[in-house]
Amino acid sequence: MKHNEENNIQQLINGGYKAQFGAAFSDASEIFKGIAGFSILAFIIYFVASTILSSFIGLIIPGNPMNVEDIMEILQSGDENLMNELILEANENPNYLPSFINYFVQSALYPILYSVFVMARKYDTHLNVDFSDIFVHYRDGKFLSLFLLTISVNIIAAIGMVLCLIPGILVYIFLMLSIPLVIFADANVKEAIKYSYKIVSKDFGTFAVALLAIVGILIVGFLLCCVGIVAAMPFTYIIIYALYKQIIGFPGESSEIDEIGTDIYKDNPYMK
Judge residue 161's burial from the number of C-beta atoms within 10 Å of its C-beta, 0-12 exposed, 13-18 middle, 19 or more buried.
Answer: middle
CA distances (Å), origin 26, targets 19, 181, 242, 250: 13, 22, 9, 19
Number of domains into which the chain is organized: 1
Instruction: Read off the pLDDT of residues 6-34 as tens digits, 9 standing for 90 and up.
Output: 899 999 999 999 999 999 999 999 999 99
Give the integer Cα–Cα distance in Å for 41 and 73.
41
In a domain, 205, yes or no: yes
The helix/strand/coil state of 249 is: coil
Residue 207 CA to residue 176 CA, distance in Å, equals 8
Between 270 and 247, the higher pLDDT residue: 247
pLDDT at position 167 is 86
Query: 57 in a domain, yes or no?
Result: no
Q: Does residue 238 contact residue 116 with C-beta atoms inside 8 Å?
A: yes
Closest CA to 248 of 5, 1, 2: 5
How many angstroms separate the CA atoms of 75 and 50, rounded? Answer: 29
108 φ, ψ to 5°? -70, -20
> Which residue in 55, 181, 179 sits closest to 113, CA to CA?
179
Identify whether 92 is part of a domain: no
- Model's pTM, two decimal places? 0.81
Q: What is the Cα Rg of the chain in Å?
A: 23
pLDDT score recorded for residue 185: 95
pLDDT band at 180 (very low <50, low <70, confident <90, very high): very high
pLDDT for 64 equals 52
Looking at the domain assignment, is residue 84 inside a domain?
no
- Report the largest interatomic distance among the alpha carbons of the chain, rounded to a whole angstrom: 93
Residue 41 lies in a domain: yes
Give the mean pLDDT of 181-189. 96
Q: Is residue 243 a part of any domain in this protein?
A: yes
What is the C-alpha to C-alpha distance for residues 123 and 31, in angstroms, rounded to an integer?
7
Range of the domain at 198: 3-48+110-251
Residue 62 lies in a domain: no
